């Protein structure tokens, strides 16, 4: 049943976001602390548990994977409702931050692959 | 004409599904025929979304991009916090834990660096451009991690919409640079085996950027990069509104 997958996803999201809210309250911040991340860990654990029991049905997979595949479209819709007009005034900042980030990370990849190669027999 | 507008307005979310579907379809056509597949269709679609948001802002003078036009209000629901978080959680389902364990310490190490380095650069650049409050700095910094982590963190912290848009802008531009640049920088950074692909996925961390870039470099490397990258958003969403925010707040003192 597809709804089992959707419901599993919903329950993990509710618990995760709920814990994130509680964590925020406990830490005295007006923020949800890592709720989405906690929900993701819960969903991974649920999938591992279900597949160990052989209970990972096609319906459960369909119900969750459908929403996973909807994530790019949702991001497109999210982009379409941002306040781009006022962000456009901060143009160079966006370019500088993005270029520096990619350059720094590529440099570290080069460094790691060199060290990694050196360590291998 | 007014019949059509009424129909699209009444069917809000359904209109949004159709509109986003058309945007993504056209974006993939543009990707295929105008860029030779070099720029991932998803990246073009996101840029198109931002362009529509710009147009919406121009037309209505509102704060919510195209969603301020009643006919496209469904975009606000489809791209709103609720469905966004729901879909992001769902992506965790694809993570293969056996392979994840095999990816080992190197991937985790790269993943950690891939959050800290972009975040630090994002925060420093934002500070340089005059942002001083911890919420804005953290939101822009996490945008440099990925275009998902930025808005998720910004939403959790209550960042302003212009800052959210900047944060997404940094993340989207980073994804596009990674997509286009990967095939060109691959020979120089030793990106030719699964281990380095995992390192790359961990450090770059943008799913569409890394998968698009690796596909253009060597399709067999895609799953290795994607495996680590799928953790990226989760880790970022976990530490963004918590550890990273607290760290920045400790520096700004408020």
Tens digit of each residue's pLDDT (9 = 90 or more) over B219-245: 677 667 776 776 777 778 888 888 888
Classify residue B84: in a domain, yes or no: no
Q: Are residues B61 and B120 in the same domain?
A: no
A10 pLDDT higher than 50: yes
Of the residues B79, B113, B138, which one is the last residue of a structural domain? B79
> Which of B195, B197, B206, B214 has the alpha carbon at shortest distance from B232?
B206
ipTM of the complex: 0.82
Same domain as B120, residue B167: yes
Q: In chain B, which among 8-27 make CB contacts under 8 A with chain A?
A: 16-17, 20-21, 23-24
The reply to whether B9 falls in a domain is yes
Tell whether A25 lies on the interface with B, counting CB pairs under 8 A.
no
Q: Is A13 on the interface with B (CB under 8 A)?
A: yes
B159 vs B139: CA distance, rounded Å: 7
Give the model's pLDDT for residue B101: 62
Q: Which residue of B has its CA nearest to A88?
A: B166
**What CA–CA distance (Å, rounded) separates A109 from A115?**
10
Does B217 lie in the same domain as B94? yes
Do residues B103 and B181 share a domain?
Answer: yes
- Average pLDDT (B96-113) is 73
| pLDDT in the model for residue A56 | 87
- B41 with B139, same domain: the answer is no
Is residue A1 less than 8 Å (CB to CB) from chain B?
A: no
Q: Choose one of B22, B49, B79: the last residue of a domain.
A: B79
**A72/B contact by beta carbon, under 8 A:** yes
- The total number of structural domains in chain B stands at 2
Selection from A48, A52, A47 nearest residue A64 by Cα: A47
Given a cut of 90, is residue B212 above it in pLDDT? no
Residues 103-142 of B with CB under 8 A from A: 106, 110, 113-114, 117-118, 121-122, 125-126, 128-129, 140
Is the pLDDT at B195 greater than 50? The verdict is: yes
Q: What is the pLDDT of residues A62-100, one digit of tens each?
A: 999 899 888 778 878 887 887 667 666 557 888 889 889
- Tell whether B204 is within 8 A of chain A (Cβ): yes
Half-sphere exposure of B131 (CA within 13 A, CB side): 25
Task: Give the pLDDT of residue B240.
Answer: 84
Task: Report whether pLDDT(B183) > 50.
Answer: yes
Query: What does DSSP assign to residue B79?
Result: T
A4: pLDDT strictly greater than 60: yes
Those of residues 25-84 in B touching chain A at CB distance below 8 A are: 42, 45-54, 56-58, 63-67, 72, 75-76, 78-80, 83-84
Confidence of residue B25 (pLDDT cuts 50, 70, 90): very high
| pLDDT, position A86 | 62
Find which of A97, A100, A104 to mutate to test the B interface (most B CBs within 10 Å of its CB).
Answer: A97
Q: How far is B60 from chain A (nearest CA, A)?
A: 11
For residue B1, give the 3-state DSSP assignment: coil
Closest CA in chain B for residue A91: B166
Q: Give chain A positions within 8 Å (CB) of B208.
A: 72
Residue B101's closest CA among A16, A44, A103? A44
In whole angstroms, give the CA distance from residue B92 to residue A36.
Answer: 10
What is the SS3 assignment for B212?
Answer: helix
Are B17 and B96 in a shared domain?
no
Task: Mark whether B43 and B122 lie in a shared domain.
Answer: no
Q: Do B119 and B181 lie in a common domain?
A: yes
Note whether B26 and B151 are same-domain residues.
no
* Chain B contact for A37 (CB, 8 A cutoff): yes
Opening angle at CA B228, ends B223 and B233, nearest 5: 120
Is there a contact between B147 and B172 (Cβ–Cβ < 8 Å)? yes
Measure CB to CB from residue A85 to each of B57, B72, B118 and give the nearest one.
B57
Q: What is the DSSP letter of A121?
A: -
Contact B164 A83 (CB under 8 A): yes
Of B25, B58, B79, the position where a domain reaches its end is B79
> Which of A17-31, A36-50, B78-92, B120-134 has the lowest average pLDDT?
A17-31
- Residues B151, A78: C-beta atoms closer than 8 Å: yes
Q: Is residue B85 part of a domain?
A: no
In angstroms, what is the C-alpha Rg of chain A?
Answer: 21
Contact B93 A110 (CB under 8 A): no
**One domain for residues B195 and B143:** yes
Contacts of B152 (CB under 8 A, 6+ apart): A36, B84, B85, B88, B142, B236, B237, B240, B241
Alpha helices in chain B (DSSP H): 2-10, 12-34, 41-60, 74-78, 81-91, 97-128, 134-143, 149-157, 161-185, 194-204, 207-217, 222-239, 245-252
Contact state of A113 with B195 under an 8 Å Cβ cutoff: yes
| Burial label, B144 (beta-carbon count in 10 A; 0-12, 13-18, 19+) | buried
d(CA B62, CA A103) in angstroms, rounded, equals: 36
Is B68 a domain residue?
yes
Residue A121 reports pLDDT greater than 60? no
Is B71 found in the same domain as B24?
yes
Mean pLDDT score, B72-84:
88
Residues B161 and B246 reside in one and the same domain: yes
- Residue among B47, B54, B151 whose CB faces A85 most closely: B54
Domain that holds residue B229: 90-252
By percentage, how much of chain A surpasses pLDDT 90?
22
């Amino acid at each position: 049943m597809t709804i089992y997958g959707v419901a599993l996803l919903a329950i993990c999201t509710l618990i995760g976001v709920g814990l994130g809210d509680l964590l925020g309250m406990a830490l005295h911040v007006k923020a949800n602390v890592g709720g989405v991340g906690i929900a993701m860990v819960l969903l991974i654990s649920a999938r591992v548990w279900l597949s160990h029991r052989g209970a990972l049905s096609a319906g459960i997979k369909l119900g969750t994977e459908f929403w996973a595949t909807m994530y790019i479209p949702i991001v497109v819709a999210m982009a379409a409702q941002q306040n781009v007009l006022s962000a456009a005034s901060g143009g160079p900042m966006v370019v500088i931050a993005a270029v520096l980030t990619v350059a720094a990370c590529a440099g570290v990849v080069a460094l790691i692959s060199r060290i990694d190669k050196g360590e291998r027999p | 004409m007014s019949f059509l507008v009424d129909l699209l307005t009444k069917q809000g979310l359904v209109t949004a599904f159709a509109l986003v579907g058309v945007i993504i379809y056209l974006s993939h056509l543009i990707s295929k025929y105008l860029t030779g597949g070099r720029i991932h269709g998803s990246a073009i679609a996101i840029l198109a979304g931002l362009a529509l948001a710009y147009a919406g802002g121009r037309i209505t003078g509102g704060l919510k991009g195209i969603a301020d036009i009643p006919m496209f209000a469904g975009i606000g629901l489809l791209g709103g916090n609720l469905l966004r978080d729901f879909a992001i959680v769902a992506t965790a389902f694809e993570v293969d834990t056996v392979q994840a364990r095999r990816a080992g310490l190197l991937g985790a190490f790269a993943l950690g660096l891939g959050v800290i380095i972009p975040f630090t650069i994002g925060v420093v650049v934002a500070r340089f451009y005059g942002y001083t409050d911890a919420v804005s700095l953290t939101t822009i910094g996490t945008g440099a991690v990925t275009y998902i982590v930025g808005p998720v963190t910004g939403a959790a912290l209550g960042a302003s919409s212009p800052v959210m848009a900047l944060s997404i802008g940094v993340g989207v531009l980073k994804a596009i640079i990674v997509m286009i640049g990967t095939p060109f920088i691959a020979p120089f950074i030793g990106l030719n085996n699964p281990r380095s692909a995992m390192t790359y996925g961990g450090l770059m961390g943008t799913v569409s950027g890394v998968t698009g870039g690796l596909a253009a470099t060597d399709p067999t490397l895609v799953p290795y990069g994607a495996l680590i990258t799928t953790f990226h958003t989760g880790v970022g969403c976990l530490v963004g509104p918590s550890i990273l925010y607290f760290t920045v707040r400790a520096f700004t003192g408020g």
